[in-house]
Chain A
Amino acid sequence: MFLALRDLRFARGRFALMGAVVALIAVLGVLLSGLASGLADAGISGLRALPVTHMAFDEKATSEQFSRSTVEQEDWQTWSKTPGVERAEPFGNTLANAQVTQGAMKGEQVNLAVFGMAPDSPLAPSPGKGEGLKEGSAGIVITREIADLGVEIGDVLTADKSEVRLKVVGLVDETVSYGHIGVVYADLDTWRHLHYGLPGDLPEAASRQATAVALTLKPGTDVAAAEKATGTLAETKEATFDASPGYEAESSTMALIKGFLYVISALVVGAFFTVWTVQRKPEIALLKALGARTGYILRDALAQVVAVLVGATALGTAVGLALGSAMIGKAPFSLSAPAIATSSGLLVVLGTVGAVVAVRRITAVDPLTALGATR
């Protein structure tokens, strides 16, 4: 770094300009990562929180399975008897509208992402405040997003269509969302009323249905036979995220934007160091003529590249974090350390790749040119 550091100092204006571009890209990278994490949280944090490994959907539902799939009692019974299946239980998922009919927010409309499960199942929430679910009570457990609207324990919500009265019995004080809507937990029969929009007693057929079979499988379990017997398809929990409305489109859009950002960054860095290296050609020839090996000059140049990239990325990441913290709560935004580390790390790595292509020109410089044009 003997020469690299001195060049940085000497040509600081030029390096500062390029560093500023990289830093701004890093800021954008942090904000995009935060937005992607925020969107993911809003889209699938409810699913992520479920203590299962797989979900089995009706095989006829090939996309948006959570709104299209229906499974029967026999299905989860068959699944639970399959070797390697630790647990199989019905899981209900539906979106519902309700109105606060009793409580401070009386008259307020709320959207609910209703997760139905047996109250004694591990899927059922253990609320930090109030009580858990009870069979046949039409009590629901709300999560932070619903509580943020002003709904409290003890309030009563009345669902549209089914007119079921939902009494808020507990609160999980965490952001648990599904499709950008706050999750409420209900017992299966309450869920069925909301799902089918039926007031009064449930028809016999409906009372044996759920959306999917929530599975906890031992690693390596062969599910083919159970899938065939039940007419269902088991997917890993992570794969079910794509079944959540809009999630796949959101995450692929964010990935596309980020991908372009990295490519642009690598090209900018590559272009800068190409110009820089071409400009340095006489000095490189001089260094070689003095007896510096190509490896010495390359190491020096790469150290400079990494110093600039790491410095600029660190600065940009810090600014991005500061801006991002201000955005939390105002937008679907959450700062996840691994996502930001990946984003910043990729920026440095791909920038270095771009620069390596540029500084490879050093290899081709002929020391003879140091002797001047006339020979």
Chain B
Amino acid sequence: MTTPATDHQAAADTDRSGGLRLDDVTLTLGDGDTAVTALDHVGLTVAPGEFVAVVGPSGSGKSSLLAVAGGLQRPTSGTVHIAGTELTALSDKERTAARLRHIGFVFQQSNLLASLTVREQLLLPLHIDGRLDTTARARADELIEAVGLTHRAGSRPHQLSGGERQRAGLARALMTSPAVLLVDEPTSALDRVRSAEAVRLIAEQTHERGTATVMVTHDTAIMDAADRVYEMVDGRLS
């Protein structure tokens, strides 16, 4: 796999001290009369090792926050910095590379690929990056152990419970040692006990690995594990 020199440059410029920083970010979806302000002048700073929870009802703009913070969507205005790199200034290709190397996603739905074992799910990001080597394999085993899935390493998603899938997704997100970890509704498919366990694991990994973690959820019962909690209403963060 060939990598443009600019990617190496971006990687070299990265310093972990930056964490995640959103400055005055506004995102308007649609145009004209149907325009919706999904994010309204949002500012948010998350330091490395810090676990921030954002709660709010459906449609409050939580997912838009993740989309913009994770480089999936360009904001209408404002800037996003990740580990010292201005994400909003990168080209589409550079943003894709930045997602791969510096951002870990834990998605709510379709988090895992049906045909891959847990171990292969973890190796996938490094294969995409052309860096699949013995170090990567060792790291995968280490992470699988950290999320307590060692006995499930050879299982495919359909053989796993909801909680195990969530943990496998978390382990995969951590594979590339991302500066930023973005978690979308981690507990939507889990019962109370499992939800608490899952969030505790995210908090634990955040502190241990020094990621700047943002979790969005509508489940107010799981906020205790977070270092800071924000509420999101109509695209405004408070």
A binding-site residues for B, Cβ under 8 Å: 2-3, 6-7, 9-11, 282-283, 285-293, 296, 367-368, 370-375
Is B113 a contact of A11 with CB atoms below 8 Å?
no
Given A290-B125, A375-B59, 6 further pairs, Cβ under 8 A: A3-B115, A3-B124, A282-B109, A371-B72, A374-B59, A375-B62
Is A368 a contact of B73 with CB atoms below 8 Å?
yes
Is B124 a contact of A2 with CB atoms below 8 Å?
yes
Q: Please name the residue on chain A nearest to B59 by beta carbon.
A: A374
Q: Which parts of B59-105 form the interface with A (CB within 8 Å)?
A: 59, 61-64, 66-67, 70, 72-73, 93, 96-101, 103, 105
- Whether a CB of chain A sits under 8 angstroms from the CB of B160 is no
Is A372 a contact of B96 with CB atoms below 8 Å?
no
Given contacts A10-B156, A291-B96, A293-B96, contact A372 B115 (CB under 8 A): no
Docked Cα-Cα span, A374 to B188, in Å, equals 12
Given contacts A3-B116, A296-B128, A375-B67, contact A289 B97 (CB under 8 A): no
B binding-site residues for A, Cβ under 8 Å: 1, 38, 58-59, 61-64, 66-67, 70, 72-73, 93, 96-101, 103, 105, 107-111, 113-116, 120, 123-125, 127-129, 132, 156, 184-185
B116 / chain A contacts, CB cutoff of 8 Å: 3, 6
Given contacts A10-B114, A289-B99, A293-B93, contact A372 B108 (CB under 8 A): yes
Docked Cα-Cα span, A282 to B97, in Å, equals 20
B110 / chain A contacts, CB cutoff of 8 Å: 282-283, 285-286, 370
Given contacts A286-B107, A291-B125, A372-B63, contact A9 B1 (CB under 8 A): no
Q: Which 8 pairs from chain A and chain B are nearest by CB?
A: A291-B100, A10-B115, A375-B63, A291-B99, A282-B110, A6-B115, A2-B127, A292-B128
Number of A-B contacts (CB under 8 A): 93
Q: Please name the residue on chain B nearest to A7 by beta carbon.
A: B115
Is A290 a contact of B115 with CB atoms below 8 Å?
no
State the Cβ distance, B8 to closest chain A Cβ, in Å. 15
Q: In this complex, which of B73, B98, B132 has the most chain A Cβ atoms within 10 angstroms of its Cβ?
A: B73
Docked Cα-Cα span, A211 to B20, in Å, equals 92
Is B63 a contact of A374 with CB atoms below 8 Å?
yes
Docked Cα-Cα span, A294 to B99, in Å, equals 14
B101 / chain A contacts, CB cutoff of 8 Å: 291
Q: Please name the residue on chain B nearest to A368 by beta carbon.
A: B72
Is B107 a contact of A375 with CB atoms below 8 Å?
no
Docked Cα-Cα span, A289 to B99, in Å, equals 7
Is A289 a contact of B128 with CB atoms below 8 Å?
no
Residue A290 contacts which of B99, B108, B184 (CB distance < 8 angstroms)? B99
Pick 12 A–B contacts, CB within 8 A, sort by A.
A2-B120, A2-B132, A3-B115, A3-B116, A6-B120, A290-B128, A291-B98, A292-B96, A293-B128, A296-B128, A371-B67, A372-B107
B132 / chain A contacts, CB cutoff of 8 Å: 2
State the Cβ distance, A288 to closest chain B Cβ, in Å. 8
Q: In this complex, which of B100, B110, B116, B123 has the most chain A Cβ atoms within 10 angstroms of its Cβ?
A: B110
Docked Cα-Cα span, A286 to B129, in Å, equals 15
Is B109 a contact of A375 with CB atoms below 8 Å?
no
Is A289 a contact of B72 with CB atoms below 8 Å?
yes
B62 / chain A contacts, CB cutoff of 8 Å: 375
A282 / chain B contacts, CB cutoff of 8 Å: 109-110
Docked Cα-Cα span, A282 to B96, in Å, equals 17
Docked Cα-Cα span, A289 to B59, in Å, equals 21
Residue B61 contacts which of A286, A287, A375 (CB distance < 8 angstroms)? A375
Given contacts A3-B116, A368-B73, A371-B184, contact A290 B63 (CB under 8 A): no
State the Cβ distance, B5 to closest chain A Cβ, in Å. 16
A286 / chain B contacts, CB cutoff of 8 Å: 107, 110-111, 113
State the Cβ distance, B176 to closest chain A Cβ, in Å. 8
B156 / chain A contacts, CB cutoff of 8 Å: 10
Docked Cα-Cα span, A288 to B124, in Å, equals 12
Is B113 a contact of A3 with CB atoms below 8 Å?
yes
Residue B107 contacts which of A7, A9, A10, A370 (CB distance < 8 angstroms)? A370
Given contacts A289-B105, A290-B105, A370-B110, contact A9 B115 (CB under 8 A): yes
Q: Please name the residue on chain B nearest to A4 by beta carbon.
A: B115
Docked Cα-Cα span, A288 to B96, in Å, equals 8
A293 / chain B contacts, CB cutoff of 8 Å: 93, 96, 128
Is B124 a contact of A371 with CB atoms below 8 Å?
no
Is A283 a contact of B105 with CB atoms below 8 Å?
no
State the Cβ distance, B130 to closest chain A Cβ, in Å. 9
A296 / chain B contacts, CB cutoff of 8 Å: 1, 128
Is B100 a contact of A372 with CB atoms below 8 Å?
no
Q: Please name the residue on chain B nearest to A288 by beta carbon.
A: B96
State the Cβ distance, B80 to closest chain A Cβ, in Å. 15
Docked Cα-Cα span, A259 to B81, in Å, equals 57
Is B114 a contact of A283 with CB atoms below 8 Å?
yes
